């Protein structure tokens, strides 16, 4: 008899495709397979209509005034690069400075470093011990030649939610556009670009039970009208901002995934918050030396980042074959460097190395949480015992 699959608690890395999303996508793989740019026949007209309907849904989901402000991309990484590099290059002559934070996703940080190699200046703001940026620090960092401020909505490792409304107010007062990486936030917490003062917003589908390979950049078109230089050329698709034939099935799936998340958001947020508390309470009841990383309340409903004293998280993962977990962002999992997010919080090295990220999602049940608690408790105890035995043996050798 084959073993059951591991319990999936890595929903910040990606999410399974919702069957309802797949159902919406299938016709555009088959009978409605047209190119949305083909304007001379019905196949193209149907594809274009589907794309524009999806554009309207996504714009409505984030409070955008005009569906044309939604630019489809391959994912959040491309959207982040288009936002930072596109705005910087378009304003090179008179604005050569950007402001971001030390805990951004690698797509933002690496894009910023690329701009630094190209002669731009970047200010990387610190965060407090909960992972929050002080809006006063944003205000102090903005200067006359600042082209863009980029602060993520929700952190993928510790789940902390940034004070975007206050930061947006600061940026409006200083007349500097605000970009936010909202890959982890769209569909999970309320987001309204008008209320929050967001001028550019990056998002994708696969973090909210949609298909991989599709994302979007919201780009404000008025008050202020933003100048941005495209990264891809050829064909003039997406108003010339992102050339390339649109993957219509993925676009349709993206919109369907967002709409489902919005319909179920409040109920799902309450459910995940309760399950997260159940997980935390269960771990604390059975183990000493358990510490939560990130803000205790201002965090994503399904996120719990925990350090287990005296344990190496990489070794702990090997002792948990029945649970699919990670130590941090999937985009940095190949790196041997400690988490740049936890490092920015000022945590000691031992606590950083002992951190696991639990990402709860739509399929997570109370029974699974109880099972995970049991498996983690057993693995932590075993790992601690092995470590203590190893230390005892080493002291005996002396």
Q: So which residues are the catalytic ones?
A: 331
- The two structure tokens encoding residue 83: 């936002």
By C-alpha distance, which of 89, 175, 95, 163 is closest to 125?
Answer: 163
Residue 139 burial class via C-beta count within 10 angstroms: exposed 0-12, middle 13-18, buried 19 and up? middle
User: CB neighbours of 208 closer than 8 A, spacing ≥ 6?
Assistant: 15, 186, 187, 188, 257, 258, 261
- The two structure tokens encoding residue 136: 């006063």
331 DSSP 8-state letter: G
- The two structure tokens encoding residue 355: 């951190």
By C-alpha distance, which of 67, 350, 303 is closest to 193?
Answer: 67
By C-alpha distance, which of 331, 330, 333, 351 is closest to 342?
Answer: 351
Residue 86 burial class via C-beta count within 10 angstroms: exposed 0-12, middle 13-18, buried 19 and up? buried
The C-alpha atoms of residue 225 and residue 244 are separated, in whole angstroms, by 24
> In this structure, are residues 202 and 80 in contact, taking their beta carbons and an 8 Å threshold?
yes
Torsion of CA 298, 304, 308, 312, to 10 degrees: -120
User: CB neighbours of 129 closer than 8 A, spacing ≥ 6?
Assistant: 345, 346, 347
By C-alpha distance, which of 334, 93, 121, 83 is closest to 226?
Answer: 83
The residue whose two tokens read 């696969």 is 206
CA end-to-end distance (rounded Å), the chain:
48
The residue whose two tokens read 């008899």 is 1
The C-alpha atoms of residue 211 and residue 249 are separated, in whole angstroms, by 9
Residue 279 burial class via C-beta count within 10 angstroms: exposed 0-12, middle 13-18, buried 19 and up? buried
The C-alpha atoms of residue 347 and residue 109 are separated, in whole angstroms, by 20
The C-alpha atoms of residue 253 and residue 273 are separated, in whole angstroms, by 27
């Amino acid at each position: 008899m084959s073993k059951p699959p591991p319990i999936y608690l890595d929903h910040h890395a990606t999410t399974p495709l919702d069957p309802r999303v797949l159902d919406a996508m299938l016709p555009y793989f088959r009978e409605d397979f047209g190119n949305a740019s083909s304007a001379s026949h019905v196949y193209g007209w149907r594809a274009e209509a589907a794309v524009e309907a999806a554009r309207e849904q996504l714009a409505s989901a984030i409070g955008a005034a005009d569906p044309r402000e939604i630019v489809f991309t391959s994912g959040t990484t491309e959207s982040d690069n288009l936002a930072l590099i596109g705005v910087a290059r378009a304003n090179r002559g008179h604005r050569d400075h950007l402001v971001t934070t030390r805990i951004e996703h690698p797509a933002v940080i690496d894009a910023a470093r690329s701009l630094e190699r190209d002669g731009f200046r970047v200010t990387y703001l610190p965060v407090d011990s909960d992972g929050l940026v002080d809006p006063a620090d944003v205000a102090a960092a903005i200067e006359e030649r600042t082209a863009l401020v980029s602060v993520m909505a929700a952190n993928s490792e510790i789940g902390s939610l940034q004070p975007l409304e206050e930061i947006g107010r600061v940026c409006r007062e200083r007349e500097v556009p605000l970009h936010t990486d909202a890959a982890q936030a769209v569909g999970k917490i309320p987001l309204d670009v008008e209320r929050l003062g967001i001028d550019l917003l990056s998002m994708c589908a696969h973090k909210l039970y949609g298909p991989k390979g599709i994302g979007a950049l919201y780009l404000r078109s008025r008050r202020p009208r933003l100048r941005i230089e495209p990264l891809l050329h050829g064909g003039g698709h997406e108003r010339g901002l992102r050339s390339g034939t649109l993957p219509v099935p993925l676009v349709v799936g993206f919109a369907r995934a967002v709409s489902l998340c919005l319909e179920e958001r409040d109920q799902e947020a309450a459910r995940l918050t309760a399950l997260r508390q159940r997980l935390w309470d269960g771990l604390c009841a059975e183990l000493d030396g358990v510490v939560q990383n990130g803000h205790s309340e201002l965090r994503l409903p399904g996120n719990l980042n925990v350090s287990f004293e005296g344990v190496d998280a990489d070794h702990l993962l090997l002792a948990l074959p029945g649970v699919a977990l990670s130590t941090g962002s999937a985009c940095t999992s190949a790196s041997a460097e400690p988490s740049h997010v936890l490092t920015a919080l000022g945590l000691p090295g031992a606590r950083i190395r002992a951190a696991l990220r639990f990402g709860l999602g739509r399929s997570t049940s109370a029974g699974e949480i109880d099972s995970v608690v049991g498996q983690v408790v057993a693995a932590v105890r075993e790992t601690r015992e092995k470590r203590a035995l190893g230390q005892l043996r080493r002291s005996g050798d002396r």
